[in-house]
A and B are shown apart, each in its own frame.
Chain A
Amino acid sequence: MSDSTCPSEPLAEDASVNGLDAIDRAIVLATQAGLPLVPDPWGAVGRPLGLAGDEVRARMQRMIDSGVIRRIAAVPNHYRLGYVANGMSVWDVDDARIDRLGREVAAVPGVSHCYRRPRHLPDWPYNLFVMLHGHTRDEVERQAEALRERLGDACRDHRILYSTRILKKTGLRLARRPGPPR
């Protein structure tokens, strides 16, 4: 999904992918860059698709229930709010303890995402990915230090990979705004 960049590979009309039919996917495409800011946004989304606003809402509710939509929300741009230091911290954590520790780490302030991913040895030993956000690199370093303490001897090594540049953040949004400050 989220294939706004690839109109050349349409799916068969009747194909249901992960429980989404063609109409659901059209709603995903029509809303992924944001809702129209008008009093009846569902009607505005539905009109070009030939759907009533109530039908759009009912389908979005089903996508919420199935977990396809996490939430409907005002999504802040953290760069514009001063969170200019964005560090992807990666950790080599004992496999036997990672699930418990991952859940603990996810609850730490400053952490926006926390995922387990596979190692690729010897090149890539890290299996826990924790996104940290701060106003400065110092603040991110302090957050990482707090995580290091919490992980204790379950963690063999870690790194913080700062982003130096956003090269793309969805085609639709890229077209609407220049990148955030470097």
Chain B
Amino acid sequence: MAELDALDRRLIDAFQRDLPLCPRPFAAMAERLGVSEAQVVQRLQALQRCEVLSRVGPVFDHARAGASLLAAVSVPEAERDAVAAAINRSPGVNHNYAREHRYNLWFVMTAADEVQLEARLEALEEELGRPLLRLPMVEGYHIDLGFPIPWAELEAP
């Protein structure tokens, strides 16, 4: 795990949930943490460079910002990477994971609306020559407020 000091941890803990939408958000963060705006910007850049932070920015609800759907497909292991590459090339695909199951490729298809979404899924099905398991979200029980990071536990031997 990457080397993080106390300020890095406070930045991550405090701003996993809400970055203020004010004219100078990093200055507002800095004030809360008792450091300078330049320090906050530098730390965030460094955390992003070493990939501890994926990004700093808006987290979109894809279901509201457009249409999206979790899909899975079952492919022989030998063909998996070639099929995965075809899926990744397909417009609208934004996640693709290999998983241990008969359904071994899992991806999220996105589109501007439901009509475009279904058209993209059908086009991909035709290209792959395989049926897709369509798993739209029926209900979300979690509001995705971030993920409390148990720093002490991470450092336990």
Contact-residue bracket for chain A: 35 or more
Cβ of A55 within 8 Å of any chain B Cβ, yes or no, is no
Interface contact A106-B141, CB-CB below 8 Å:
yes
- Please report the C-alpha to C-alpha distance between residue A72 and residue B61 in the assembled complex, in whole angstroms: 12
Neighbouring B residues of A161 by C-beta, 8 Å:
99-101, 103, 106
In whole angstroms, what is the CA distance A28 to B66 when docked?
11
Knowing A18-B65, A74-B15, say if A111 contacts B142 (CB, 8 Å). Answer: yes
B139 close to chain A: CB less than 8 A: yes
Given contacts A37-B41, A68-B65, contact A117 B56 (CB under 8 A): no
B37-A39 in contact (CB<8A): yes
B53 and A76 contacting across the interface, CB-CB below 8 Å: yes
Interface size on B, residues (CB 8 A): 81
Given contacts A68-B64, A123-B133, contact A73 B141 (CB under 8 A): no
Contact A1 B15 (CB under 8 A): no
Assuming the A-B contacts A5-B93, A115-B141, are A72 and B88 also in contact, with contact meaning beta carbons closer than 8 angstroms in the complex? no
Q: In the complex, what's the smallest C-beta–C-beta distance from A122 to chain B, in angstroms?
A: 13
Q: Which of A119-138 contact B (CB under 8 A)?
A: 120, 123-124, 127, 129, 133, 135
Q: Is B23 an interface residue (CB 8 A)?
A: yes
Q: Mark B17-51, 1 if CB is under 8 A from A, else 0.
A: 11101111111000000000100010011011011
* Cβ contact within 8 Å between B97 and A167: yes
Shortest CB–CB separation between residue A78 and chain B, in angstroms?
Answer: 7
Check if B154 is an interface residue, CB within 8 A of chain A.
yes
Contacts of A3 in B (CB 8 A): 66, 91-92, 110-112
A80 to B49, CA, bound (A): 12
Q: Which residues of B lie under 8 Å from residue A73 when comparing CB positions? A: 15-19, 56-57, 59, 146
Q: Which residues on A sit within 8 Å (CB–CB) of B142?
A: 106, 111-115
Least Cβ–Cβ distance between B106 and chain A, in angstroms:
7
Are A60's CB and B100's CB within 8 A? no
Nearest first, the 8 closest Cβ-Cβ pairs linking A and B are A34-B55, A1-B66, A6-B91, A102-B141, A168-B96, A106-B142, A116-B139, A106-B141
